[in-house]
């Protein structure tokens, strides 16, 4: 590669002959060219290359036909210019993950304890058998056994290794799953290019330099390129520059298109000049990679403040980077300031569940730490007082090692209490549950991009849904028409329409629509024709075909190059117009758009003879009443077709749009039907039953919207719900200055069901208003669906954003949390079901886990204090911990959801994780288990007629007595695991247990393992074999758990006022007012807790952090730089990460007040919104 070419030649001479692979320009030259902007770029293009057409020549491509698509040619291009792929960051190796799992503080304490124990067991002091050292050594039988003192230490180490491997494997498989998900999202992203004159869609990774790509509204550009031909093209470059204003692109002013930017308006074609790591986004990624090592270290230390400077260093180190920010001077300064401010900014709260879990874990950790400390202190004091005080022995030098061995034993017991108290299984349960749900949700057409969205969905209280495509089928067809003073209730016969009018209709539709919209023959015989591109345009093209005309012929006559000027559709215009130059030098413009908007600009209308006649305001009002309202009340969307001729003498000023778009002549008005999906009314009923309010937000006419909402069941007859238009909505909620007033909004949203003719800003305002509202008893959790570019801000603001997989633009998918692969509303209901299931699974696990914890800690604590030795040995505790934590989390976290989940109201943000009923179950079962264990401990030897295991000397062999205690304990846990399957106090705990094979496997597997441990575990597990009758007693006591569970169910919770709930979410009151800003980065409640000096406890819960880290991995790069570095830079995730680097604070998508634009579909589709000037049936 002659990478230095560019350095030797002066700016504008281009070295011929010296270019790799005989292309007319090298990669470096193109890369340097792409770094220029606007006028500079145009100048360099023309001086050095002689314009875009010549760049195409040098790259051996045709601006019209595209590349030949010959494999050898494509391969050569890949070799010379690189491929369109940004290599992902290396995944962590398994060993790295093992090392991370070893950082867990509790494990480290255990390791140290085990090593000391091992060391001491091999050290036999000379005076070890001295009588004066107390009852430290047992009887004669102990001689052989004392050699086995190392076993306990070794067993602890062994179980630590198992725990570490399980954790590491878990993290590793999750990382792998996440990468799989990312690559799946990547493969699904396709882009339109022209090859051999054919317009085809290829995966983004296959784009090569020299490809001619078609770009249109809503695209995320996959590579850098130069514009060849464009209509009204506006790009949002905020992801690279941080400037939210849209940049107009044109051949003469600024033809440079950059990867990772968004097309907000218009369409065009570009020649690709840089791909992969040579594109602007790629360059930034390479820089990111450079600064990565230090950043990860800094982030690890938790000094988030360290990262920004680092980031700027990375920029200045490399000249290339500076060019990325054209507005360096000012923006750099702003950035510095923002960074200073940024440190103090409190952040938006994390997902509901994470917040609750973190707080709960911190609370449990504290309790465990205190208990274990007390245990150790009591044991040590008791031993010291007893040995040196009561028995009055002197401290002999040669006895020291033996005493130390005692202290180590006490220390190990203390650590074991701590280990059992901390619920390591909690993060495991959460991740297993979420990962399992995400996998299964794929089958239900939900592609989850951010793991926690899945659980937030279970708390959703409101869904704001689009109409087109989500509630309706998005298969538009023209069913009525008004042409030449006649209202046809079905498609008219072509003979009934005059040829000249027919001609106007055909041209007005074929030419004045995106050439990417077409109707293709059906895939299967007898199927419906396929609609490609914008659905509203497809409906009009279908209308032309129904009139037995051919639109393709017209398009072949007038290719896109011949279009003189195009005003593309956007959410402000709500119309589209195309200007053609006539043979005589005059111009003709075809327009189409929402009927009320276009009719307001019409001064004439074609009568039944096809001649224009004057069209006055009163004519218009009459037409609205007679034609448009009846169509709208049937749920039809009305589109008006019109045209205007400009004389040849003087060319109009094309930039003054209002002048141009006036004085039109109306050709026809058509009514387009978009039928409601058959399964939607049922799904909406389910939502309402589940306590979720469904609101429809649409760009359509209010009558159409009301008709559809009634069909769906969003509006019920006889209820006083509001249907508002965007204008009216804004009038009601804004003050004189035009600012949104929350009190006003709070009066409206609870009753609002339909918002029609709404702009993207209205949608965002509504979502934000509902989320920020404090009216109800708890904060609303809002889900939003969107498909258009302009829905980005609303999708981002919502708690859960759903993007449409089929109709959605890249921008919408990028801003969303879940992608609906079938664009169907019923999939949202499925998501709610899964979300609630995740929540319940975790509660089930908690109910089970906490019972084990409470009992094990109390037993270990009291046992140790009364008998100087924990009845449950360290190794047994670790086994209990392993089965109870890891396996139970597997068993309880994989329960499949059932429809009954949709019969209760959502939990809401501040409902505690552990409800009163659960607390009753936990304490009730704990009472049973403690009673049994203490009875066995202090009277078991009499009952079973065996030797007492209490007060055994240090290295004595395991006793049957303590083995029975351990075995009974495990049996009770096993049967209690079945009780834990229900958390709302249901009686039938076996209900549909067969639907969950994992649960059955785990329970039976644990049972089998327990038999092996007791019978063959011997010294390491401190077990000795039991007789059959003893086994039966253990199992019988275990089964008693199920009966006791029924007894607990009978006690009404309402009588137990003293029960506390635990694991609340953070309530509004606890966050100071000024800490509730708008769009700030996220914070987890852990950080809030930490600030209160609880860093110590939390370190002990490091495992929970690491596991949650995984949950973060699934969240956007935007949530932290670490996230950005950890995620695979897929094309989809690129623009967030880039944002993250170039200007940390512009995380929101283009700021909402920049001209909002509409999704390709909802847009040209939505018969474009306007105020309700016609006084239609507004309730």
pLDDT at 883: 64
Cβ neighbours for 823, distance < 8 A, ≥ 6 positions apart: 469, 470, 474, 787, 804, 805, 806, 807, 808
Query: In 679-708, which positions are buried (b, 16+ CB within 10 angstroms) versus exposed (e)?
Result: ebbebbebbeebebbbbbbbbbbbbbbbbb
Taking the CA atoms of 602, 604, 609 and 610 in sequence, report the sign of the dihedral they define.
Answer: negative
Residue given tokens 């077990």 in the structure block: 1023
Pick from 671, 663, 669, 619: nearest CA to 640:
669
Where would I find the H helices in 457-515? 499-510
pLDDT at 349: 45
Alpha carbons within 13 angstroms on the beta-carbon side of residue 685 total: 9
Strands 800-804 and 782-786: parallel
Q: How far apart are the first and last CA of the chain?
A: 71
How far apart CA 865 and CA 410 sit, in angstroms, is: 11
Residue of 466, 799, 817, 869 marked catalytic: 466
DSSP calls for 491-505:
PPPGGGS-HHHHHHH
How far apart CA 981 and CA 1002 sit, in angstroms, is: 14
How far apart CA 461 and CA 471 sit, in angstroms, is: 18
pTM of the model: 0.67
Cβ neighbours for 649, distance < 8 A, ≥ 6 positions apart: none
Determine if residue 1131 is left, alpha or beta; phi over 0 gives left, psi from -120 to 50 gives alpha, anything else beta: alpha
Residues of the chain with pLDDT under 50: 1-20, 128, 136-147, 290-349, 1067-1100, 1103, 1107, 1110-1111, 1114-1179
How far apart CA 209 and CA 211 sit, in angstroms, is: 6
The per-residue pLDDT for range 986-1005, each reduced to its tens digit, is: 888 888 888 888 888 888 98
Determine if residue 725 is left, alpha or beta; phi over 0 gives left, psi from -120 to 50 gives alpha, anything else beta: beta
pLDDT at 1117: 40
How many distinct helices (H) and strands (E) make up the chain?
A: 46, 28
Cβ-contact 150, 118 below 8 angstroms:
yes
How far apart CA 592 and CA 575 sit, in angstroms, is: 6
* N residues, the chain: 1179
Cβ neighbours for 297, distance < 8 A, ≥ 6 positions apart: none
Taking the CA atoms of 813, 814, 815 and 816 in sequence, report the sign of the dihedral they define.
Answer: positive
Note if 674 is an active site residue.
Answer: no
pLDDT at 1172: 43
How far apart CA 589 and CA 740 sit, in angstroms, is: 39
pLDDT at 424: 62
How far apart CA 1125 and CA 1148 sit, in angstroms, is: 19
How far apart CA 544 and CA 505 sit, in angstroms, is: 8
Taking the CA atoms of 425, 428, 434 and 436 in sequence, report the sign of the dihedral they define.
Answer: negative
pLDDT at 124: 62
Burial of 129 (0-12, 13-18, 19+ CB in 10 A): exposed
Query: CA 680 → CA 113, 144, 437, 624, distances in Å?
Result: 61, 76, 23, 30
pLDDT at 1125: 37
pLDDT at 643: 93
How far apart CA 360 and CA 349 sit, in angstroms, is: 16
pLDDT at 559: 84
Cβ-contact 210, 67 below 8 angstroms:
yes
Taking the CA atoms of 44, 47, 50 and 56 in sequence, report the sign of the dihedral they define.
Answer: negative
Instruction: Tell me how many degrees the CA angle 278-279-282 measures, rounded to the nearest 5.
Output: 80
Query: CA 734 → CA 450, 744, 867, 1003, 1167, distances in Å?
Result: 34, 8, 73, 60, 26
């Amino acid at each position: 590669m002659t990478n230095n070419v560019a350095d030797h030649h002066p700016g504008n001479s281009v070295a011929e002959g010296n270019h790799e692979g005989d292309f007319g320009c090298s990669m470096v030259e193109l890369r340097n060219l792409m770094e220029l902007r606007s006028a500079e770029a145009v100048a360099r293009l023309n001086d050095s290359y002689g314009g875009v057409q010549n760049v195409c020549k040098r790259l051996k491509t045709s601006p019209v036909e595209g590349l030949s698509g010959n494999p050898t040619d494509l391969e050569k291009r890949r070799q010379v210019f690189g491929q369109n792929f940004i290599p992902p960051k290396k995944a962590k190796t398994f060993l790295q993950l093992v090392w991370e799992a070893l950082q867990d503080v509790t494990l480290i304490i255990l390791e140290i304890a085990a090593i000391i124990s091992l060391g001491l067991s091999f050290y036999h002091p000379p005076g070890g058998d001295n009588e004066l050292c107390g009852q430290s050594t047992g009887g004669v039988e102990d001689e052989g056994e004392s050699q086995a003192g190392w076993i306990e230490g070794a067993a602890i180490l062994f179980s630590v290794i198992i725990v570490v491997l399980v954790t590491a494997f878990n993290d590793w498989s999750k990382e792998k799953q996440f990468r799989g998900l990312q690559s799946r999202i990547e493969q699904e992203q396709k882009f339109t290019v022209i090859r051999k004159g054919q317009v085809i869609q290829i995966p983004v990774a296959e784009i090569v330099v020299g490809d001619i790509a078609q770009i249109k509204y809503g695209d995320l550009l996959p590579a850098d390129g130069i514009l060849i031909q464009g209509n009204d093209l506006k790009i949002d470059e905020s992801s690279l520059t941080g400037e939210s204003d849209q940049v107009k692109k044109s051949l003469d002013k600024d033809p440079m298109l950059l990867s990772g930017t968004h097309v907000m308006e218009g369409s065009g074609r570009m020649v690709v000049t840089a791909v992969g790591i040579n594109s602007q986004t790629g360059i930034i990624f390479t820089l990111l990679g450079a600064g990565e090592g230090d950043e990860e270290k800094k982030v690890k230390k938790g000094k988030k403040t360290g990262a920004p400077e680092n980031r700027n260093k990375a920029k200045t180190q490399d000249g290339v980077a500076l060019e990325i920010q054209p507005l360096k001077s000012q923006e750099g300064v702003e950035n510095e300031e923002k960074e200073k401010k940024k440190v103090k900014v409190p952040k938006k709260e994390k997902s509901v569940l994470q917040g609750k879990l973190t707080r709960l874990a911190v609370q449990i950790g504290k309790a465990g730490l205190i208990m274990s400390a007390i245990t150790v202190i009591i044991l040590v004091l008791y031993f010291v007082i007893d040995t040196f005080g009561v028995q009055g022995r002197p401290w002999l030098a040669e006895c020291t090692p033996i005493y130390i061995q005692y202290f180590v034993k006490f220390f190990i017991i203390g650590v074991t209490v701590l280990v059992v108290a901390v619920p390591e299984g909690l993060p495991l349960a959460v991740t297993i549950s979420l990962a399992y749900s995400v996998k299964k949700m794929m089958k239900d057409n939900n592609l989850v991009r951010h793991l926690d969205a899945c659980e937030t969905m279970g708390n959703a209280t409101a869904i704001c849904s689009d109409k087109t495509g989500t509630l309706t089928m998005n298969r538009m067809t023209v069913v009525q028409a008004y042409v030449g003073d006649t209202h046809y209730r079905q498609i008219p016969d072509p003979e009934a329409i005059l040829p000249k009018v027919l001609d106007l209709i055909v041209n007005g539709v074929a030419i004045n629509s995106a050439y990417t919209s077409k109707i293709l023959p059906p895939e299967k015989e007898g199927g419906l024709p396929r609609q490609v591109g914008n659905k509203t345009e497809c409906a009009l093209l279908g209308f032309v075909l129904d009139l037995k005309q051919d639109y393709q012929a017209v398009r072949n006559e007038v290719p896109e190059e011949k279009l003189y000027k195009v005003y593309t559709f956007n959410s402000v215009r709500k119309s589209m117009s195309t200007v053609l130059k006539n043979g005589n030098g005059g111009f003709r413009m075809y327009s189409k758009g929402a009927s009320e908007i276009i009719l307001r600009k019409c001064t004439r209308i074609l009568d039944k003879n096809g001649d224009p006649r004057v069209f006055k305001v009163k004519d218009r009002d009459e037409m609205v009443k007679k034609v448009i309202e009846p169509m709208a009340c049937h749920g039809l969307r009305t589109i008006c077709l019109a045209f205007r001729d400009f004389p040849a003498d003087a060319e109009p000023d094309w930039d003054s749009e209002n002048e141009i778009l006036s004085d039109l002549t109306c050709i026809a008005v058509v009514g387009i039907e978009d039928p409601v999906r058959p399964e939607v009314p049922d799904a909406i009923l389910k939502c309402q039953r589940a306590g979720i309010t469904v609101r429809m937000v649409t760009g359509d006419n209010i009558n159409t919207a009301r008709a559809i909402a009634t069909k769906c069941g969003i509006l019920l007859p006889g209820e006083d719900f509001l249907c508002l238009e965007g204008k009216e909505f804004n009038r009601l909620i804004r003050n004189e200055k035009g600012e949104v007033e929350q009190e006003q909004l709070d009066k409206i949203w609870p009753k609002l069901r339909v918002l029609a003719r709404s702009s993207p800003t209205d949608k965002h305002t509504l979502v934000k208003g509902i989320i920020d509202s404090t009216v109800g008893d708890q904060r609303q959790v809002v889900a939003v669906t969107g498909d258009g570019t302009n829905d980005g801000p609303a999708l981002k603001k919502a708690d859960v954003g759903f993007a449409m997989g089929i109709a959605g633009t890249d921008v919408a998918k990028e801003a969303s949390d879940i992608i609906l692969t079938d664009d169907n509303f019923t999939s949202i209901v499925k998501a709610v079901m899964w979300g609630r299931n995740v929540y319940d699974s975790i509660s089930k696990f908690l109910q089970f886990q906490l019972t084990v914890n409470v009992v094990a800690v109390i037993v270990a604590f009291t046992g140790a204090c009364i008998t100087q030795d924990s009845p449950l040995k360290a190794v047994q505790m670790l086994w209990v911990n392993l089965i109870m934590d890891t396996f139970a989390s597997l068993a309880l976290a994989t329960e499949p959801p059932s429809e009954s989940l949709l019969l209760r109201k959502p939990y809401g943000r501040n409902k505690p994780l552990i409800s009163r009923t659960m607390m009753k179950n936990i304490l009730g079962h704990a009472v049973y288990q403690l009673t049994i264990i203490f009875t066995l401990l202090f009277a078991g030897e009499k009952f079973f007629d065996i030797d007492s295991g209490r007060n055994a000397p240090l290295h004595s062999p395991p006793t049957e007595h303590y083995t029975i205690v351990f075995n009974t304990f495990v049996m009770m846990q096993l049967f209690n695991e079945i009780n834990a399957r229900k958390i709302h106090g249901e009686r039938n705990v076996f209900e549909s247990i067969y639907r969950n094979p994992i649960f059955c496997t785990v329970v039976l597997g644990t049972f089998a393992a327990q038999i092996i441990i007791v019978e063959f575990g011997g010294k390491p597990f401190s077990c000795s074999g039991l007789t059959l009758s003893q086994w039966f007693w253990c199992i019988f006591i275990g089964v008693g758990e199920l009966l006791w569970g029924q007894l607990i169910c009978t006690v009404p919770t309402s009588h137990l006022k003293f029960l506390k709930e635990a694991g609340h979410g953070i309530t509004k009151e606890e966050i100071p007012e000024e800490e509730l800003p708008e769009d700030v980065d996220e914070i987890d409640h852990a950080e809030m807790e930490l600030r209160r000096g609880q860093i110590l406890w939390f370190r002990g819960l490091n495992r929970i952090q690491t596991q949650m880290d995984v949950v973060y991995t699934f969240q956007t790069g935007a949530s932290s730089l670490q996230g950005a570095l950890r995620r695979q830079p897929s094309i989809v995730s690129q623009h967030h990460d880039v944002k993250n680097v170039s200007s940390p604070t512009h995380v929101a998508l283009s700021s909402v007040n920049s001209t909002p634009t509409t999704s390709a579909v909802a847009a040209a589709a939505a018969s474009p919104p306007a105020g309700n000037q016609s006084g239609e049936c507004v309730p």
